[in-house]
Amino acid sequence: MNQITRDKALYIVSMILIFLAVSLFLLYRLREPAAVDTDFEALQQALEAQGLTEELSFGTEANLKRNFDIFPSQYVKYIYYTPTDFMSVDEILLLELTEASEAEKLAEACRKRIEKQVLMFENYGTDQYSLLQEARIYQNGRYLCFCCGHHSREAMDLIRSSIER
């Protein structure tokens, strides 16, 4: 009788260990891809080489403050392209944050930027309005990206591939 109880206990412990091993494996495989150190200069050159910034200019700290109410000096690095035409909603923003915990605050600043633009264009700018509906916000680790406009999908794909490589 004692041998049967010991065998049952060993079987139960073995099953628990197998369950834990499978669970850890699945959690590892399903997690979000880890962000790596991104070469902002190479990424900026790639965006320009693919023509994704043709009608944009490199944004200044004043542009970031006015459009998103953020101070780029608080972040590690940034790339910001802003429209050259006041009727354009094309923008590309990538920030490397000092801590991933800052991402939600910055994502909210991006959502507010979209809302502000929607209010400006909803009654007469049908093209701009539809582009704003397609705006994208992406966060991975210490990186936050916002893309809006004609090339937002291509720009976001390029940025994501650079961050997740």
Q: Report the pLDDT value the prediction gives residue 109, as an integer from 0 to 100.
A: 95
In tens, the pLDDT along 79-109 reads 999 999 989 999 999 999 988 888 999 999 9
The reported pTM is: 0.76
Domain boundaries, the chain: 1-31, 40-164
Q: Report the pLDDT value the prediction gives residue 3, as an integer from 0 to 100.
A: 66
Per the model's pLDDT, the better-predicted residue between 94 and 28 turns out to be 94
* Radius of gyration over every alpha carbon of the chain, rounded to an integer in angstroms: 23
Within 10 A of 118 (CB to CB), how many other CB atoms are there? 16
The yes-or-no verdict on residue 33 having pLDDT over 60 is no
CA dist 118 and 52 (Å) reads: 22
- Segment 21-50 shows an average pLDDT of 76
Per the model's pLDDT, the better-predicted residue between 138 and 25 turns out to be 138
Q: Report the pLDDT value the prediction gives residue 143, as an integer from 0 to 100.
A: 93
Report CA 49 to chain centroid distance, whole Å.
21
Instruction: Report residue 151's pLDDT band, with 50, 70 and 90 as the boundaries.
Output: very high
